[in-house]
């Protein structure tokens, strides 16, 4: 129950355990053709979507290392650890990085962005994190993109934990580069990442002085035209991806968004019913991927996590870096079912009682069950 | 029977098909600790060996994008397509690239390198390809490295198809950066790459102006100290790697080298007995990973490959780029057994006979069987 890697359906694990095939073959080309088409659906775009053999951070590097030149100005919207990563990558490219941040657990509001932009010279690019996995907030991506769209800046979005979990509409919202990873909403192991690219971003890439070779937009675009990849793909994970995209297409994105939303809000209500405090106060800013919870006074997050694992074999996540002691996180991302959530909350109640926290017996599970019954 | 991706032992496929575990956990840290230790063994080094979630080209980028600055001088020894890739990566970094090449199917001799270096200003780095998968030659790496060791240049080696197949001794031979990939001698699916790094190369990295973030030496070195990786690793392939390294350690590197050598020379003798011409004439320059064969007059390489696949379900490789029509390639890399070779040669004999080529009946298989009987 962590926000990635997420559990994997048996049919996907079976697909991954196949003997590899030659990646320059008709069979593989036809697999890639289906995958490239289905990726456009989950990214809600008509643009090309590249596949990298890398973790999600690789796609983040691909985004910036194909467009930034030394001294270029970039604005990074930072709501947590993964927002900071954009800034770190940009700095290594010699870019001039401005940061617009907020208290962790809160979001960058459209007004904050508007005010910032009105006071500063135009940026070549602006980076955003849709669902910030480290805190559990989701930024109001549509409104932020609408503001960026009025400027000349490229709009670059980390959709690693939001794609397939929350609505994220590349073309409609005007995103120029949208990236994601495999071990989240796609229900795959880690090791693949994705990057969808607008025509405008591709034009700007052409003027990049020292672009990345491995993540190079031109090389990937050329290969995509032939339904292949420029370098050896991660063949066995591609077998899994083929299956995962078929499952997602069958279920339908809207149904997937609805499931993630329902799980998140049922979990939030259950947590509140137990008298616990959520790290993200405002329901409107809750990511559907992960929920951050503040431990009760006098109980350490690490003790809750350890007790759940040792007594119930349920794995949840700690906070990261400065949030390590302050929160624990429960993922609702990917191949998670009602039963998983019910088991988790039941075990969490018993854990908290064992650790001395007092609250109305079973109120968490009761609340959860009621909310999960709703359509 | 292609030179990667290679067949995978069942126990490795089973390991890969596990449900992923949390990568920041004691269990995963202990897996990584064993892996980092065993990687030193297969790279024959006391240096750190990093693991990237990427294909082999990613590790090549890691090597150059951590050390090269614009205008730096680099020499690339080119014996085929993969030697050229070093030059392409270096050019994208704005480096000044000199190329020392030979006819494809031949090697760069120590004398050629010595002569070239005596005529040119010192280079920051020199890149080599140990086993050139595109042609089937193996350079005399030990002698070439000995020459480079006398200069101030970093010695950077592509060991993608040689590691675990032919002797490649990083420390003894004085290699500064040695890279490899998972889908070759390691008997794994594609999607992981490796980079071993000398102290000298690490010092030079520190002065790199715009280093890669994803493949960054400093970030990977820091993570390795804690038996982890800086970004989400390719968890399921790591499960496979743990198993693969155990198998290799049990067999022993010397035994693996011997098996690859025996297969290669048995195959070469069988091909010659059938009256066919080898693309790499000199036995001393034969890679143990792949053998390139020139089709008989009037028969197309593509027809041989197609006939083998359609009638015997045996997949061999074509040449790449300008060699596509000129050669076909049989891999002897990784999890290949005597039986695989025997089936391949038997089927190749029948294929060539069907296509109208005349030679002493079964002479290829007979020669192969005799040679395979030798110790």
pLDDT band at A375 (very low <50, low <70, confident <90, very high): confident
- Asked if the Cβ–Cβ distance from B54 to A214 is below 8 Å, we say yes
Q: Is residue B2 part of a domain?
A: no
What is the total count of domains within chain B? Answer: 2
**CATH number reported for the structural domain that contains residue A68 in this entry:** 3.40.640.10
Report the C-alpha gap between B43 and B245 in whole angstroms.
Answer: 12
- Across the interface, which of B94, B211, B233 has its CB nearest the CB of A209? B94
Domain boundary (B192, B225, B251) is at B251
Please give the Cα distance from A355 to A346 (Å, whole number).
14
Same-domain status, A208 and A282: no
Residue where a domain stops, chosen among A251, A271, A304: A251
Of A169, A101, A93, A103, which Cα lies nearest the Cα of A124? A93
Phi, psi of B43 (to 5 degrees): -90, 0
Q: What is the pLDDT of residue A43?
A: 98
B219 — contact with chain A (CB < 8 Å)? no
Q: Does A22 touch chain B (CB under 8 A)?
A: yes
Which of A88, A235, A237 shows the shortest C-beta gap to B213? A88
Q: Is the pLDDT confidence value at B335 over 90? A: yes
pLDDT at B107: 97
Chain B residues touching A4 at Cβ < 8 A? 232
Same domain? B181 vs B155: yes
Among the residues of A50-131, which ranges form H helices? 56-65, 81-92, 110-119
Q: Report pLDDT digits (tens) over B203-223.
A: 999 999 999 999 999 999 999
Contact A210 B16 (CB under 8 A): no
If asked whether residues B145 and B275 sit together in one domain, one would say no
The CATH code of the domain that includes B359 is 3.90.1150.10
Report the complex ipTM: 0.95
Q: What is the pLDDT of residue A4?
A: 84
| Chain B 180-209, residues with CB within 8 Å of chain A CB atoms | 181, 183, 189-191, 209
- Is A5 among the domain residues? no
Domain that holds residue A363: 253-373
The residue of chain B nearest to residue A62, with distances taken between CA atoms, is B214
When pLDDT is cut at 50, 70 and 90, the band that residue B32 belongs to is: very high
Q: Per the annotation, where are the binding residues of B for substrate? A: 329
Q: What is the mean pLDDT of residues A59-87?
A: 97
Alpha-carbon distance of A11 to A176, in angstroms, equals 34
Question: Cα separations (Å) of B361 from A54, A213, B345, B365?
Answer: 49, 49, 12, 9
Question: Average model confidence (pLDDT) for chain B?
Answer: 97
Chain B CA closest to residue A211: B92
- pLDDT (tens digit per residue) in A4-18: 889 999 999 999 999
Closest residue in B to A215 (Cα) is B58
Both B168 and B275 in one domain: the answer is no
Q: Tell me which of A251, A278, A295 is where a domain ends.
A: A251
Q: Which of A7, A93, A231 sits opposite B210 (nearest CB)?
A: A93
Whether residue A3 is contained in a domain is answered as no
Please indicate, yes or no, if residue B4 is contained in any of the structural domains.
Answer: no
The residue-averaged pLDDT of B157-179 equals: 98
CB contact under 8 A, B92 and A54: no
Pull the structure tokens for residue A174.
Answer: 């005007």
What is the pLDDT at residue A24?
A: 87
Q: Does A14 touch chain B (CB under 8 A)?
A: yes
Cβ contact, residue pair B189, A23, below 8 Å: no
Is residue A259 domain-shared with residue A113, that is, in the same domain? no
Interface check A101 vs B, CB under 8 A: no
Beta bridge partners of residue A97, listed in sequence order: A74
Closest chain A residue to B12 measured between Cα atoms? A17
Q: Is B324 on the interface with A (CB under 8 A)?
A: no
Residue B25 shares a structural domain with residue B151? yes
Give the separation between CA A309 and CA B153, rounded to whole angstroms: 52
State the Cα–Cα distance between residues A97 and A148, nearest whole angstrom.
Answer: 17
Judged by a CB distance cut-off of 8 A, whether residue B143 touches chain A is: no
Of residues A6, A189, A232, nearest to B234 (C-beta): A189
Q: A14, A63, A127, A190: which to substitute to probe chain B, counting the most B Cβ within 10 Å?
A: A190
Overall average pLDDT of the B232-246 stretch: 98
Residues in chain B: 375
Residues A211 and A325 in one domain: no
CA A5 to chain centre: 11
- Closest CA of chain B from A209, distance in Å: 8
- Select from B243, B136, B133 the least CA-distant residue to B186: B243
Residues B29 and B113 in one domain: yes
Q: How far is B26 from chain A (nearest CA, A)?
A: 12
**Closest partner residue to B231 among A14, A23, A57, by Cβ?**
A57
Calculate mean pLDDT across residues A61-82: 97
For B264-317, what is each residue's pLDDT tens digit? 999 999 999 999 999 999 999 999 999 999 999 999 999 999 999 999 999 999
A180-228 residue pLDDT tens: 999 999 999 999 999 999 999 999 999 999 999 999 999 999 999 999 9
**Is there a domain that residue B216 lies in?**
yes
Residues of B in contact with A20 (CB under 8 A): 5-6, 8, 183, 189-190
**A1 within some domain:** no
CB atoms inside a 10 Å sphere around CB B152: 9
A262 and A132 in a single domain? The answer is no
Contact B23 A190 (CB under 8 A): yes
Q: What digits encode the pLDDT tens for the residues A306-359?
A: 999 999 999 999 999 889 999 999 999 999 999 999 999 999 999 999 999 999
What does the pLDDT read at residue B14? 97
Q: What is the mean pLDDT of residues A294-298?
A: 96
Tell me: do B316 and B235 sit in the same domain: no
pLDDT, chain A, mean? 97
- For residue B15, the model assigns a pLDDT of 97
Is B1 part of a structural domain of the chain? Answer: no
Q: Do A211 and A276 have their domain in common?
A: no
Model confidence at B375, pLDDT cuts 50, 70, 90, reads: confident
Question: Percent of chain A at pLDDT above 90?
Answer: 96
Is position B5 within any domain? Answer: no
As a whole number of angstroms, the distance between CA A222 and CA A227 comes to 9
In whole angstroms, give the CA distance from residue B344 to residue B363.
14
A232 to B17: CB separation less than 8 angstroms, yes or no: no
Task: Please indicate, yes or no, whether residues A331 and A201 belong to a single structural domain of this protein.
Answer: no
Instruction: Place B4 in a pLDDT band, splitting at 50, 70 and 90.
Output: confident
d(CA B162, CA B185): 7
A233 touches chain B (CB under 8 A): yes
Helix (H, G, I), strand (E, B) or coil at A169: coil
């Amino acid at each position: 129950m962590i926000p990635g890697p997420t559990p994997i359906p048996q049919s996907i694990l079976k697909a991954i355990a196949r003997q590899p095939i030659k990646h320059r073959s008709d069979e593989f080309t036809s697999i890639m053709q289906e995958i490239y088409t289905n990726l456009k659906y989950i990214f809600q775009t008509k643009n090309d979507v590249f596949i990298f053999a890398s973790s999600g951070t690789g796609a983040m590097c691909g985004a910036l290392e194909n467009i930034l030149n030394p001294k270029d100005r970039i604005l990074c919207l930072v709501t947590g650890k993964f927002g900071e990563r954009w800034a770190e990558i940009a700095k290594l490219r010699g870019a001039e990085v401005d940061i617009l941040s907020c208290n962790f657990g809160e979001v960058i509001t459209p007004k904050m962005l508007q005010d910032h932009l009105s006071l500063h010279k135009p940026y070549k690019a602006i980076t955003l994190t849709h669902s910030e996995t480290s805190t559990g907030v989701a930024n109001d991506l549509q409104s932020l993109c609408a503001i960026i769209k009025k400027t000349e800046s490229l709009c670059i979005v980390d959709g690693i934990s939001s794609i397939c979990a929350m609505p994220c509409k590349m073309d409609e919202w005007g995103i120029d580069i949208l990236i994601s990873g495999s071990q989240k909403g796609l229900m795959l192991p880690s090791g693949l990442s994705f990057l969808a690219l607008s025509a405008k971003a591709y034009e700007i890439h052409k003027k990049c002085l020292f672009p990345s070779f491995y993540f190079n937009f031109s090389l990937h675009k050329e290969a995509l035209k032939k339904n292949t990849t420029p370098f050896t793909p991660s063949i066995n994970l591609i077998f899994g991806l083929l299956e995962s995209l078929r499952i997602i297409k069958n279920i339908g994105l809207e149904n997937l968004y609805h499931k993630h939303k329902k799980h998140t809000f049922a979990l939030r209500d259950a947590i509140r019913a137990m008298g616990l405090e959520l790290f993200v106060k405002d329901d409107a800013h809750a990511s559907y991927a992960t929920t951050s919870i503040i431990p009760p006074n006098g109980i350490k997050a690490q003790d809750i996590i350890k007790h759940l694992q040792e007594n119930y074999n349920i794995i949840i996540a700690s906070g990261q870096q400065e949030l390590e002691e302050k929160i624990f996180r429960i993922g609702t991302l990917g191949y998670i079912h009602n039963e998983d959530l019910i088991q988790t909350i039941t075990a969490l109640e018993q854990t908290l009682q064992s650790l001395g926290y007092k609250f109305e017996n079973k109120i968490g599970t009761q609340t959860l069950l009621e909310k999960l019954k709703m359509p």
